[in-house]
Chains A and B, each alone.
Chain A
């Protein structure tokens, strides 16, 4: 009897060690559980912010921080600009991504701010193709029917980050491809003017 817990803890200790080794290895691939963990962390941070009672500016600042930390803003920015990214110079690409970083955080930070008093709960995770995971969550807002919030997660950028959100069926990358495309058109296809506009948009 007395020996049982000891053996268990030894085995558990060995397994934990093995897991650590596997994660440290060069071929450590993202798993469904890790994708879920990432979104759990993001969602906990968001829940903390929307229930913190802070001012709009404070909350937007905190959401910017969440985006910087957990989202692959580089790929979101590139995908949003689409084919025009190819003709941008390296300097324009850097300036565009930097401007986009602030834009996306402000814009979606304001959206999440409308979740005040609500709660997001992770409900499931699955692999949808090699290296791409979909994590499902449910947003429960006061006095509203709950709606689905899906997160797409990958480690293709070198660490686990989310690169897309699908909010009640609305795809963030598709929405931003359309929006940034329209902004570029409005600026006569001029990438520098687009960057200038992005800096005070969102």
Chain B
């Protein structure tokens, strides 16, 4: 869903991969994308250990757009999907979407020189596609081979790129200059773009949309509490994203150091 709405595959190979001008909310995204491509890892470091968010005013405008979109479209659709489709089928759809991400994980595993993860993800893809009936089931996890998600934002990190500025992107949500660049590159180099025919690609997009709705439905209470229950949902979402992303990339958290011993100075740090 998110790819269909944001990044369009082009029939003409010479054309740009992404035609952002067609989108209603294209201007901030276009700006963000250009900034990301031009500045990935080049934005100045934040002052005083704070968040690197030089585009905060613009990001907040995008955040309001995203919250509106959730309220009017995503959340009601997710609730409808969750109550209309039985749970095992929803899980199957999410499994298919997840299985279709494996080739992209594999490419990034190789780009990062992580052969072990590459072999594991390739094996998962083959097993789940065959024994798992096109990815509907996940026998790989059942035999102890957990998914190892990967993305080009992580590849950029492994290659030494810095995080860059925080960005909130229309529809996609929280990101950074490094991670948005990664999202765009992942779209461009996804092996499935070349392997699937038209109808298969439509089915893949539907599965992705279903997986997105399932996540929104399943974690409804948490997502609602962040988007609608927070005193400042923009700042809260930014903090959650950056901390979780650093953790996933194995970047040592300064925040955890600061909150290591509140007994010493409960108010400060």
* CB-based contact A143/B94 at 8 Å: yes
Given contacts A143-B94, A166-B256, A174-B243, whether A75 and B235 have CB atoms under 8 Å apart is no
Interface positions, chain B 222-262, Cβ under 8 Å from A, are 222, 225, 229-232, 235-236, 239-240, 243-248, 253, 255-256, 258-262
Task: Give the number of A-B contacts (CB < 8 Å).
Answer: 107
Q: How far is the CA of A114 from the CA of B232 in the complex (A)?
A: 23
**C-alpha gap A164/B257 in the complex (Å):** 12
Contact B225 A152 (CB under 8 A): no
With an 8 Å Cβ cutoff, the count of chain B residues facing the other chain is 36
Instruction: Name the B residues within 8 Å of A182 (CB-CB).
Output: 230-232, 235-236
Is B139 on the interface with A (CB-CB < 8 A)? no
Contact string against B for A residues 165-202, beta-carbon threshold 8 Å, 1 for contact and 0 otherwise = 01011110111011110110110000000000000011
Which of these, A128, A173, A175, contacts B240 with CB under 8 Å?
Answer: A175
8 Å CB contacts to A: which residues of B149-180?
Answer: 149
- For A, the interface residue count at a CB cutoff of 8 angstroms equals 47
What residues of chain A lie closer than 8 Å to B147, measured between beta carbons? 145
Set of chain A residues within 8 Å of B245, measured between Cβ atoms: 169
The smallest beta-carbon distance between B124 and chain A, in angstroms, is: 12
Whether a CB of chain A sits under 8 angstroms from the CB of B266 is yes
Q: Are A114 and B222 in contact (CB under 8 A)?
A: yes
Complex formed: what's the CA distance from A152 to B248 in Å?
20
Of the candidates B91, B253, B256, B267, which one forms a contact with A143 in the assembled complex, judged by CB atoms under 8 Å apart? Answer: B91
Chain B residues, Cβ within 8 Å of A157: 263
Q: Which of B91, B94, B221, B262 contacts A114 (CB 8 A)?
A: B221
In chain A, what residue has the closest Cβ to B229? Answer: A201
Task: Known A79-B266, A83-B268; judge A132-B243 contact (CB<8 A).
Answer: no
Question: Is B219 at the interface (CB under 8 A from chain A)?
Answer: yes
Task: Check if A70 is an interface residue, CB within 8 A of chain B.
Answer: no
Tell me if A7 counts as interface (CB < 8 A to partner B): no
Chain B residues within an 8 Å CB radius of A146 = 146
- In the complex, whether A8 has a CB less than 8 A from a CB of chain B is no
Q: Are A163 and B262 in contact (CB under 8 A)?
A: yes
Say yes or no for A78: interface residue by CB 8 A criterion.
yes
B261 cross-chain contacts in A, Cβ below 8 A = 129, 131-132, 154
- Contact partners of B240 in chain A: CB under 8 A: 170, 175
Q: Does A159 contact B (CB under 8 A)?
A: no
Nearest Cβ on chain A to B100's Cβ, whole angstroms: 16
Q: List 26 A-B contacts (CB under 8 A).
A: A75-B262, A78-B262, A85-B266, A85-B267, A107-B225, A110-B222, A111-B222, A114-B219, A128-B260, A131-B261, A132-B260, A143-B91, A164-B259, A166-B256, A168-B247, A169-B243, A169-B245, A170-B239, A170-B240, A174-B239, A174-B256, A175-B239, A178-B235, A182-B231, A185-B231, A186-B231
In addition to A85-B267, A113-B221, 14 A-B residue pairs with Cβ atoms within 8 Å of each other are: A75-B263, A76-B262, A114-B218, A129-B260, A145-B146, A145-B147, A154-B261, A170-B247, A171-B256, A174-B256, A175-B240, A183-B231, A186-B231, A201-B229
- Which residues of A does B touch, CB under 8 Å? 75-76, 78-79, 81-86, 107, 110-111, 113-114, 128-129, 131-132, 143, 145-146, 148, 152, 154, 156-157, 163-164, 166, 168-171, 173-175, 177-180, 182-183, 185-186, 201-202
